[in-house]
Amino acid sequence: MIWYPYEQMKTMKEPYKIVDAEGVYLYTQDKKMIDSVSSWWSVIHGYKNPVITQAIKEQADRFSHIMLGGLTHEPVERLSSKLAEFLPGDLDYCFFSDSGSVGVEVALKMALQYYVNKGDMKRTKVLALRHAYHGDTFKAMEVGDDEDYHFILEAYGEKKYTVHIPTEIPALEDAFLKYHNELNCFIVEPLLQGAGGMRMYDISFLKRARQLCDNYGILLIFDEVATGFGRTGNRFVADLVLPDIIVLGKALTGGHIGHAVTVANKKVYDGFYDNAQEKALMHGPTFMGNALACSAALRSIELFEQQDYMSKIRRIKQITRREMSGFTDERIKEVRIMGGCVCIEVYDSSVLDGYQQFAYEHGVFSRPFLNYLYAMVPYIITEDELVKVLSTMKMWFEKK
């Protein structure tokens, strides 16, 4: 039997069984619904994108997978060149992995070893944000601050290697003053904290973080697994403030196959480049650089560029602003909009009980969590479809 994610299996509601998916639509046996979640924010071109599907088929006819240990192949070579060109600054050195969590693990290992390679063994701490989410593996969980994990992490007692701060400049400055000798990196979900509650904050915080990291020689990591490829209304937040390491996942392959990449700048790469074998990065997921995933990612990035996705995202933001303007309810704490993300935060999570089924009946798939009802739609959504997603959200409050 299947053990489903984030679910108490004893009380879990039956999942909707999907038999087909195309564009923004998921199909059950007797209903079609707009996926307002984009399959965990990844399916930016919609389902079954013909160009990406074709790329996968063509590659599958050659070979589906070849390990990168001692071997290489054209799709991974082309994707790494493409990423180097597509990403800002000297974020040029691509380490592939199979999921965002692993991509984060790799980034954190790079940051720690960067200093160990220099003989500095004291920089064992990571600075991270309150309400951060960086994935479900152990180190990712530790640098995260997800309420769902507090319960299990309690078994370990106080976190020794992570310092959490709110997204406020004075707290940032204090943390650097206090811990700068012990920190190897500052990791953030830039501008938009996703799973921690679609929390949005200002770019000035990241600009100050960049200055402080430079002053104290600490690495800045952007976990853009969720924010990358336009979700905040920027291609990457790294276009505005340049990190030393960026992690991409989710939308990397247009959501067609799981894959992630940790991209380092020259400074970080040079910290490993040496005659000494022990200074090498000791990591190598079995399926890193999978040929099907790389072929999908290449096509996905080409589509993103050729079809001017940034204008699609601007249009989503405009329509969302228009539809949500003036919408309030006494149960709503805040309505937040950034790029291709809208979130309604309610005071009491029970207000959202039953919403998923209500949305399903109205032809929309939604998955609220805690106090957050949100939409992160595929960028190819039409105006009518987007209005439907948003009006379903509003209707829930109006009907009660």
CA 202/CA 61 separation, integer angstroms: 47
Q: Min. distance of Cβ 274 from ligand PLP in angstroms?
A: 30
Counting contacts by CB under 6 A, is residue 342 touching ligand PLP? no
250 carries an active-site annotation: yes
CB closer to ligand PLP, 196 vs 271: 196
Counting contacts by CB under 6 A, is residue 176 touching ligand PLP? no
Q: Min. distance of Cβ 120 from ligand PLP in angstroms?
A: 27
CB closer to ligand PLP, 145 vs 223: 223
Counting contacts by CB under 6 A, is residue 312 touching ligand PLP? no
| 50: nearest Cα among 300, 260, 367, 221 | 300
Site for ligand PLP in 234-253 (CB under 6 A): 249-250
Counting contacts by CB under 6 A, is residue 133 touching ligand PLP? yes
On the 0-12 / 13-18 / 19+ scale of CB atoms within 10 A, 396 is buried
239 carries an active-site annotation: no
Kindly report the three-state secondary structure assignment for every residue of 25-39.
EEECCCCEEEECCHH
223 carries an active-site annotation: yes
CA 397/CA 352 separation, integer angstroms: 9
| 259: nearest Cα among 49, 62, 61, 106 | 106
Counting contacts by CB under 6 A, is residue 131 touching ligand PLP? no
Question: Binding ligand PLP by CB under 6 A: which of 99, 184, 232, 290?
Answer: 99
178 carries an active-site annotation: no
Tokens of 205: 């915080």
Counting contacts by CB under 6 A, is residue 340 touching ligand PLP? no
Look up residue 306 and give its amino acid.
Answer: Q
Q: Min. distance of Cβ 227 from ligand PLP in angstroms?
A: 7
Q: Could you say which of 47, 93, 114, 133 is catalytic?
A: 133
Provide the Cα torsion 35, 39, 44, 46; round to 10°: -50
Q: Min. distance of Cβ 345 from ligand PLP in angstroms?
A: 18
CA 341/CA 231 separation, integer angstroms: 7
Counting contacts by CB under 6 A, is residue 189 touching ligand PLP? yes
Counting contacts by CB under 6 A, is residue 145 touching ligand PLP? no
Q: Dihedral sign, CA of 288, 293, 298, 304?
A: negative
Helix 169-179 × helix 203-216 angle, to 10°: 20
Question: Binding ligand PLP by CB under 6 A: which of 134, 139, 231, 336?
Answer: 134
Q: Min. distance of Cβ 41 from ligand PLP in angstroms?
A: 7
Q: Min. distance of Cβ 99 from ligand PLP in angstroms?
A: 4
Helix, strand, coil: what percent of the chain each, to 5?
40, 20, 40
**For the chain, what is the radius of gyration of the CA atoms?**
21
Question: Binding ligand PLP by CB under 6 A: which of 46, 135, 228, 233?
Answer: 135
Catalytic site residues?
6, 133, 223, 250
Q: What residue ranges bind ligand PLP (CB under 6 A)?
A: 99-101, 104, 133-135, 189, 194-195, 223, 225-226, 249-250
